Amino acid sequence: MPTNQQRREAAKRKLERQLARRAERAKRRKIVGVGVTVGAVVIVAGLVVFLATRGGEDAAADNPPTSSPEQPPVQIPSERAPMPERTEALPNPVSCEYPEEEGQTAKTAEPPNGGDVPSAGTVNVTAQTTAGDIPLTLDRALAPCTVNSFLNLVKQDFYTGTECHRLGTRGLQMLQCGDPNGDGSGGPGYTIPDENFPELSYGRGILAMAKTQAPNSGGSQFFMVYGDAQLPPEYTVFGSIGDQGLEVLDKVAKDGIDQSTAGQDGTGKPKTQVKFTGATINS
C-alpha cells in the first residue's frame, strides 16, 4: 500500500503533467491564432490591392484616356533621295493602254487617250489639301503612261474630295492617297501599265504609284515618300514632291497614326486629315 507521502507525490506529478499539457495546448492555440491572423491580413491586403486594381481598370474602361500612349518621335531624314533615271530613253511618243477594271468604286473616270503620249518633259501640278498645298513635278521621261493618266484624273477633278488613307512612319515612310473608297480598295475604273526599270529606288521626295501584287494593276492610288522606303523596284516612279509639299508631309507624319486603324505593318490612317480640295496643272 502506498504511503500518504507517495500518494501526495504521485498527485503532484499528475498535476504537473496536466499543467504542462495545458500550457502546450495554449501555446499551440497561440501559434495557430497568429497564423490565422497573418493569413487574414495577407488576404485582406490582397483584396485591397485586387479591388484597387479592378477599380482602376473599370475607371479606365468607363473613362478612356483622352490620348493614346505616346509614340516615339518620328525620325525623318533631311536629305532628298536622288531621282532615278532610265539608262535608255523611251521612244517619243509612246502608246499606252488603259483597260477597264471591274470592281466597286465610289467614283470612276474616263480613261485617257493612249495614243501619241509624250515621253519627254515635266509637268507641274499643285495638289490642294486640307493639310496644305503639295506641289508635284511629274516626269514624262520616267513614266509617260502614268503621267498621262494622272493628268487625266486631275482634269476630271477625280481626286477632289478623296482622302489620304494610309500613313507609314517607320520603315516605310510615306503617305498613300487617291482612293475614292478611302480604304485602299478603289480606283478610277481602269488600270495603267507598270513602267518600272531595275534602277528604281525610293526615298525622300519620290512620287510613285501604288498597286496590288498583280502586274499592271495601278489606277488612281499613289504614294508620296517623305523619308525612308526600302522597296523593290516594282512601283512606278513618275515624279517628285516639292519642298513645300515635304513640309506638309513631315507635319502629318509627326502628328502620327490613328492607332485604332493601324494594320500589322504599322501603317494606318493619319491623325491629321489630308483631304484633296482640288488640284491644278501649272504647266
User: 153 and 60 in one domain?
Assistant: no
User: 171 and 254 in one domain?
Assistant: yes
Rounded distance between C-alpha atoms, residue 268 and residue 164, angstroms: 10
Whole-prediction pTM: 0.76
pLDDT means per 10 residues in the chain (283 residues)? 54 58 52 40 38 34 41 91 97 98 94 98 98 98 98 98 97 97 96 97 98 96 98 98 98 97 95 98 88
Q: Which residues span the domain enclosing 57?
A: 1-64
User: 136 and 55 in one domain?
Assistant: no
User: 262 and 177 in one domain?
Assistant: yes
User: 134 and 274 in one domain?
Assistant: yes
Q: How many CA atoms lie within 13 A of 148 on its CB side?
A: 26
Among the three residues 15, 46, 64, which one is the final residue of a domain in this structure? 64
User: 138 and 220 in one domain?
Assistant: yes
Cis peptide before 215 (omega within 30 of 0): no
Work out the end-to-end distance of the chain between its first and last CA atoms, rounded to an integer number of angstroms: 138
Rounded distance between C-alpha atoms, residue 115 and residue 108, angstroms: 21
User: 276 and 183 in one domain?
Assistant: yes
Rounded distance between C-alpha atoms, residue 251 and residue 48, angstroms: 46
C-alpha cell, 24: 502546450
Q: Where are the alpha helices (DSSP H) in 3-66?
A: 4-62
Total of domains in the chain? 2
Residues 6+ apart with CB under 8 A from 149: 96, 98, 111, 112, 188, 192
- Specify the pLDDT at position 84: 97
Residue 240 phi/psi, 5-degree rounding, is -135, 165
User: 245 and 132 in one domain?
Assistant: yes
Query: Would 70 be classed as within a structural domain?
Result: no
Rounded distance between C-alpha atoms, residue 146 and residue 176, angstroms: 16
- Specify the pLDDT at position 38: 39
- Specify the pLDDT at position 5: 52
User: 230 and 134 in one domain?
Assistant: yes
Tell me whether residue 271 is exposed, middle or buried, using C-beta atoms within 10 angstroms of its C-beta: 0 to 12, 13 to 18, 19 or more. middle
C-alpha cell, 23: 500550457
Among the three residues 16, 47, 64, which one is the final residue of a domain in this structure? 64
User: 126 and 55 in one domain?
Assistant: no
